[in-house]
């Protein structure tokens, strides 16, 4: 018996039809947002390390002081009013998308332990029924060693969650999302 994918069995190409420039928000922290400004270039790769040119990346993150711009954040301080905290962008023909933001502050985990600065990521792409969740940490960040979530990931796989400085741009960072295969990015079941 042959099984043919139907719209209910795969995400793409439908997400790209609705993903227009008016729904894209690559600028998570506009001018005036407090904190260390950074430019994050993400690349999505398939099993064969070929670029995925029709994926969509969503980012949620805390502001530079570790406060989410969301009413469910239990912390008492107010979020930075110049900070959105959410971004979305489609990949280009080479599998890239770029975000402008600030380095997030440390946020408390479920048990109160502070987490290392990180970005929460959702990946939407063809052939994926539900989005994939992962995180982006910053290579060389001293507090990575104390992060309770990163500690759950086997040491040999943690590198798949690290963004690295991109010397081609001031404040630039790069991060590869490998959907399958060798060095597949660690995804979380949330």
Per-residue pLDDT of the chain (190 residues; tens, 9 = 90+): 676 655 554 555 555 556 555 678 899 998 899 999 999 999 999 999 999 999 999 999 999 999 998 888 888 888 888 899 999 999 999 999 999 999 999 999 878 899 999 999 999 988 888 899 999 999 999 999 999 999 999 999 999 999 999 999 999 999 999 999 989 999 999 8
**Pairing mode, if any, of strands 162-165 and 132-138?**
parallel
Give pLDDT, residue 9. 47
**CB crowding 122-152: b at 16 or more within 10 Å, else e:** bbbbbebeebbebbbbbeebeebeebebbee
Query: The domain 7-178 is classified under which CATH number: 2.30.42.10, 3.30.1340.10, 3.40.50.2000, 2.60.130.10?
Result: 2.60.130.10
Three-state SS letters, the chain: CCCCCCHHHCCCCHHHHHCCHHHCECECCCCCCCCCEEEEEEEEECCCCCECCCCEEEEECCCCCCCCCCCCCCCCCCCCCCCCCEEEEECCCCCEEEEEEECCCCCECCCCCECCCEEEEEEECCCCCCCEEEEEEECCCHHHHHCCCHHHCCHHHHHHHEEEECCCCCCEEEEEEECCCCCCCCCECC
Give pLDDT, residue 131. 92
Total residues belonging to the chain = 190
Nearest Cα neighbor of 85 from 76, 97, 73, 95 is: 73
Q: What is the pTM of this model?
A: 0.89
């Amino acid at each position: 018996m042959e099984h043919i994918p139907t719209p209910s069995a795969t995400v793409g190409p439908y997400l790209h039809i609705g993903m227009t420039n008016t729904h894209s928000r690559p600028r998570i922290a506009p001018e005036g947002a407090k904190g260390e400004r950074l430019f994050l270039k993400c690349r999505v790769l398939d099993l064969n390390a070929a670029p995925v040119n029709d994926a969509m990346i969503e980012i949620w993150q805390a502001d530079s002081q570790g406060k989410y711009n969301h009413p469910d954040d239990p912390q008492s301080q107010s979020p930075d009013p110049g900070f959105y905290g959410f971004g979305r962008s489609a990949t280009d023909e080479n599998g890239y998308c770029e975000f402008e933001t600030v380095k997030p502050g440390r946020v408390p985990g479920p048990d109160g332990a502070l987490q290392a600065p990180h970005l929460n990521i959702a990946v939407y792409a063809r052939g994926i029924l539900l989005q994939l969740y992962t995180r982006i940490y910053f290579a060389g960040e001293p507090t990575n060693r104390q992060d309770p979530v990163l500690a759950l990931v086997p040491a040999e796989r943690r590198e798949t969650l690290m963004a690295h400085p991109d010397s081609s741009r001031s404040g630039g960072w790069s991060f590869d999302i490998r959907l399958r295969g060798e060095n597949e990015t660690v995804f979380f079941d949330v």
